[in-house]
Amino acid sequence: MKRNRLLAIMTGTCALAALAATAAAETSVVQWDQFSSSGATSSGPAMEALIKVCEGELKDVKINRTVAPSIGIRDAYRLAVSADKTPDLAYTWPAASVLAGYARTNKIAPLDAYYDKYKWENVTPFYRGRNSYQGKIYAVPMEQDLMGVYYNRDLFKKLGLEVPTTYAGFKDVVEKLKAASVVPIAFGNKDRWPATNTMSLLMGLSTGRANEEKVFFGDEAWTNPGFKLAAETFQQWGKDGYFPRGFNGIGVDEANALFLGGKAAMNVGGSWFLQDMARNAKFDIGVFMLPPIGDGVAPGTMWGEGSQWQISASASDAVKDAAAAYVNCLTSPANRQTWVEKGYTVPIGTTAEDLAKWNTLPLVKEFFGQGLATADSNFYDLHTTLPESVTQVLYPELQKLVGGDATPDAFLATMQDAWKVAIDKGERWAP
Amino acid sequence: MQNGRTAFLFVAPALVLYAVFVGLPILQVFAYSFFTWDSGTIRGFGGLENYTRLVADGVFWTALSHNAIWVVLTLAFPLMAGLITASILAERSPRTVRLLSVLYFLPRTIPMVVVGIIWLWIYSPIFGLLNWFLDSVGLGNLGAAWLAEPNTALLSLNIAGAWTFFGFCNIIYLAAIQSIDPSLYEAASLDGATWWQKFRFVTTPLLRSTTLFLGLYAAIEAMRFFDLVYVTTSGGPGYSTEVLTTHIYKTFFLVGDFGYAAALSVVLLAIVLSISGISYRMLRKP
């Protein structure tokens, strides 16, 4: 009896020791991300699948995941950072300028050594620049964000409309839609950020990437003719009935519902709505790229990474190594297919040829096929390029501009003032 | 002496909790306001820099003026309506009083976030109940994008706020009217006073302290309100519905300028404390 008890105690002790050894070898990484199951960035199923895959591949890495909705993650992350509770690994938006703020205050870790180790060649110089601050790289961008014009193909066919290839053609389509009593563009700007994306698109198409860079990274003022054309165009859209009545009081979900319900013919939106659009459209949905507005401007679209993986500077070296290995797994060529097929998210480095082979929706292939074709002339996203202090001026000023309560000149002058203050305070991000 | 010490011991737990969860955070905010911040991290000591910024901050003054307008509108409508309906209700049967006062008070029990969502649907320019109603009675030309137009947004929001505050005023006034000596009304009736004269010369003067309490309460609430605006308009369109609390929230959470947000909070605290001080002094007067 005594012998049996002794044996049981010894066996138990051995089992506990084995468990403890396993636990000691395992590195726990606290991850915050915004991949939910519905709404914008609803790539949750892909994230869940890839955590399993990567934990399987990296035997000693354990991911402790927290999902924060994309609408609130940037606020929650800022609070966590300021309280020195920065999660080990986070996937947050917006990128570039806000990332620079955390790099400037030494809250996130430089990842140059990991870039050397894992190569991450899919992250091109453009994207590396957008994730750099004063010569060091601080994040690994993953998904590609593009802007396009979703349209109701059935409605276009019914009204005998062709996809426009010039800006004049686009205006003609809008006039025909108005004549048919159809809302041309489902646009709602109560949430304030949608106008920022539309303005990013209009700025690029009015002046081109090179001229944008003269303002964002050089000394050119906002009050330049290219930006003025964009501001005038946006205001004209608001005044001339391109949008539903009261667009500044319509939420982004309501605007999307207006389009998905067949009451509006087009929706100028980003690839972050692909999941919602593809799942909920009860009609044949298509996408095209808005043609250039300014003379001599090359075709292109707004693009960027929107969000990126970043590692806490205060994490231990072991956790940093584990987080980097895990990010390497998540963004590996083999796992890109999972992001596309289960999350309708197209990781950086994915080509149109890859998409053609993979099992994803035609809309995803159509969107990225067009957006990736103009890689050399695609332009900047204001959200991720401007410091938050400027973005918080841009939001209300755009509502005033599009609502007709500020002239394009007044809008640009206010933006230039906010821009100058941000530069003086050292908040400007430059690649 | 013994009694004083015992009393202090009884009060001490609450005092400690108050000091830890109210006093210390206020001191912390006050301290934050003297530093410059970058992305939620202290950059250095700035002295009064954050306070001098207030002078040139147009958004601050716009927001403050909206708070003031909100106070005036709240005093003008819910208080007045609450007083009149309570006066009418006080003369009805107890059953009617119970039923109507519950109905009036019901919106007060709804969380402000839910109130915001309800009124968003009422004001929606696409499928809003208000525009539908105006259309159905042949007044479609009066329909508007209520929360999307700078000239109607603040007033529309105030109506939503009044909807929740009116029932509270009604209940408080009703209780106060019911405590007025009925012989005063009987005497007025014997003198041939009409309903309006009784209301004007008996009810209203005797409700002075109630009105004062409700007015100052409304003023303090008007300086502090946040959720209704944030849920419905986030301060827009432009800055049309920006109030101090939304300006503080954006400066703190979105810009990460904790120092300036703290300075704004200190100013807001000073305003609320001043109103509270005035109300305390006025309510103490017999």
d(CA A118, CA A210): 31
Give chain B's end-to-end CA distance (angstroms, integer). 32
Task: Report CB contact under 8 Å: B39, A105.
Answer: yes
Q: Show residues of chain B in contact with A400, CB under 8 Å.
A: 150, 237-238
State chain A's mean pLDDT as an integer.
89
Task: Report CB contact under 8 Å: B148, A250.
Answer: yes
State how beta strands A89-92 and A27-33 pair.
Answer: parallel
Task: Report CB contact under 8 Å: A190, B148.
Answer: yes
User: How far does B104 lie from chain A, in Å, by closest CA?
Assistant: 28
Is residue A280 helix, strand or coil? Answer: helix
The number of C-beta contacts closer than 8 angstroms across A and B is 111
Task: Report CB contact under 8 Å: A101, B145.
Answer: no
- Amino acid A233: pLDDT: 98
The phi and psi torsions of A48 (rounded to 5 degrees) equal -60, -45
In contact, B205 and B66? CB cutoff 8 Å: no
- Amino acid A105: pLDDT: 87
In contact, A251 and A188? CB cutoff 8 Å: yes
- For B250, name the nearest residue in chain A, comparing CA atoms only: A392
Of A75, A249, A254, the CB nearest to B253: A75
- Amino acid B98: pLDDT: 86
Please name the residues in contact with B23: beta carbons below 8 A apart, sequence gap of 6 or more.
none
- For A400, name the nearest residue in chain B, comparing CA atoms only: B238
pLDDT digits (tens, 9 = 90+) for B228-277: 999 999 998 999 999 999 999 999 988 889 999 999 999 999 998 998 88
d(CA B81, CA B100): 14
Task: Report CB contact under 8 Å: A392, B250.
Answer: yes
Average pLDDT over residues A148-177: 97
Please name the residues in contact with B166: beta carbons below 8 A apart, sequence gap of 6 or more.
B77, B78, B81, B82, B85, B104, B107
C-alpha distances in Å from residue A271, one per residue of A147, A156, A280: 6, 21, 15
- Percent pLDDT > 90 in chain B is 64
CA angle A417, A418, A424 (to 5 degrees): 90
d(CA B26, CA A412): 39
d(CA B170, CA A293): 59
Q: Show residues of chain B in contact with A392, CB under 8 Å.
A: 250-251, 254-255
User: How far does B5 lie from chain A, in Å, by closest CA?
Assistant: 39
Of B123, B242, B253, the CB nearest to A78: B253
Per-residue pLDDT of chain B (286 residues; tens, 9 = 90+): 567 889 889 999 999 999 999 999 999 999 999 999 887 888 899 999 999 999 999 999 999 999 999 999 988 888 989 999 998 988 888 888 888 888 899 999 999 999 999 999 999 988 899 999 999 999 988 888 999 999 999 999 999 999 999 999 999 999 999 999 999 999 999 999 998 999 899 998 999 889 988 988 888 888 888 999 999 999 989 999 999 999 999 999 888 899 999 999 999 999 989 988 887 787 776 6
ipTM, two decimals, is 0.83
Q: How confident is the model at residue A360 (pLDDT cuts 50, 70, 90)?
A: confident
- Percent pLDDT > 70 in chain A is 92
Q: Show residues of chain B in contact with A250, CB under 8 Å.
A: 124-126, 148
Task: Report CB contact under 8 Å: A192, B234.
Answer: yes
**DSSP assignment letter at A164:** P
Preceding omega of B237 cis (within 30 degrees of 0): yes
Sequence length of chain B is 286
